[in-house]
Structure 1
């Protein structure tokens, strides 16, 4: 069983990183398509370089705070019972393991970029990030907390989105010059963040489907009809989020191409328009 805050906090982190990744990918491509390279993280320009590593610091600090909440606050420091891990907080331990992986990714990336102790190529950093997403995927797929009914369906869709993050991140290491791969990774991370928010509002907030209720820390849909309606609503919500993100990406690309577009991008569009008119 989760909570609104427990989904909103990681959702915020994934959403911020995903939106920034999409915007940076589009900007780098329209600015110079020939020199485009996949990036697992994107520096923040301007401000005399003071915010260059802001994304990595956001990942490190955000993951660390969430890790402390899961491992220290949620467990009340009751790690062991009768010499074994506290079975009442196994989900907190699992969440902590996932967050630790993202924390490690952020630290490794900072060490690689800012020091000479761990110089790693971008492809290797992609694989480190993919490992963190794999840990998240395995966590939610083999969760000790049994997600049943409507709650289980929402978490199944979340697992699918995490799988897309894994695939697109690995593809970034294998295809280091592919703009579609880099953009797909940003879209997948954005959708994951949005789906965390959608889950929070639907299961633990004001958008709970008719016929279902949150009672005794459980989402229950007494009738088969209410369960089916809830799952169909989840399908529609995911479709709406995918559609909205794709529209936003198309609008952003059009804006950036018109304002910062390289001549090669304009020539490509002109050639495509010529083929379409023939």
Structure 2
């Protein structure tokens, strides 16, 4: 079973990185479509280069902090019981494994970009990122926590969005000059962050569907009809989020083309 904060923190990380990835992809394509290349991470220009690697620091530091929360704080340091991992906190250990993969990706990318110890091409970084998403996918698909009913439906949608993240990052390595692939990666990460938020507010917050409630660390619905109504509501919420992101992408494309595109450059 999860918690409100347990979904909000990773949701915030995914959302921030996803939105930044979308904008960077749109900006780079509008500025020079012929030289466009897929990037698994996007540098922050300006400020004398002092914040160039900000995205990678957000990924590495953010995942490390969340890892410490899951592995140390949530378990109350009761990690080993009777010579084995504490069975009461297996979900915390699984979350820690997922976060460790994203921390490794951020660290490897920083070493690759800032040092000469581990020079890796962008395609290799794409595959490393996809392995982190794959670990997340396996975590939620084979979770030790029993995701049934309405809770299971929300996590099933999350698994689908994670699968889209895997496909888009792998495609980035296979099609390194494709703007749609790069943009799709940002959209998938953004939707994953939004769905973490939606899950937090619906299952552990104030948006619980009528007839369902959180009781004794489990989501229960008073009838099959209420559970189906909750699942239909989840479908509608996902549709609204997808539509909102698409409108946002469209607005970003229009703004970037007007401000930084070929037409504005020609006028100058």
Normalised to the residue count of structure 1, the TM-score between the two structures is 0.94
Give matches, 1:50-199, under 5 Å. Answer: 50-199=50-199
- Matched residue count: 266
In 1, Cα distance between equivalents of 2:226 and 2:116: 58
Normalised to the residue count of structure 2, the TM-score between the two structures is 0.98
Q: Is the 8 A contact 1:168 1:185 kept in 2?
A: yes
Q: Using the TM superposition, give the Cα deviation of residue 22 of structure 1 relative to its aligned residue in structure 2, in angstroms.
A: 0.1
Match of 1:214 in 2: 214
In 1, Cα distance between equivalents of 2:199 and 2:58: 23
In 2, Cα distance between equivalents of 1:207 and 1:263: 45
Moved over 2 A (4+): 263-266
Deviations 1:44-84 (A, max 9, x none): 11100011000000001100000000000011111111111
In 2, Cα distance between equivalents of 1:166 and 1:202: 26
CA-based RMSD: 1.2
Give matches, 1:249-264, under 5 Å. Answer: 249-263=249-263
Q: Is the 8 A contact 1:33 1:264 kept in 2?
A: no
> What SS does the corresponding residue of 1:144 show, helix, strand or coil?
coil
Q: Using the TM superposition, give the Cα deviation of residue 265 of structure 1 relative to its aligned residue in structure 2, in angstroms.
A: 10
Q: Is the 8 A contact 1:257 1:265 kept in 2?
A: no
In 1, Cα distance between equivalents of 2:92 and 2:201: 21
In 2, Cα distance between equivalents of 1:191 and 1:167: 14
Match of 1:236 in 2: 236
Q: Is the 8 A contact 1:94 1:139 kept in 2?
A: yes
Pair 192,254 (structure 1): closer, same or farther in 2 beyond 3 Å: same
Deviations 1:119-178 (A, max 9, x none): 000000000000000000000000001111100000000000000000000000000000
Higher mean displacement: 78-87 or 189-198: 78-87
In 2, Cα distance between equivalents of 1:249 and 1:224: 38
In 2, Cα distance between equivalents of 1:110 and 1:53: 8
In 2, Cα distance between equivalents of 1:84 and 1:47: 50
Q: Is the 8 A contact 1:17 1:190 kept in 2?
A: yes
Give matches, 1:20-59, under 5 Å. Answer: 20-59=20-59
> What SS does the corresponding residue of 1:213 show, helix, strand or coil?
strand
Q: Is the 8 A contact 1:126 1:172 kept in 2?
A: yes
Match of 1:14 in 2: 14
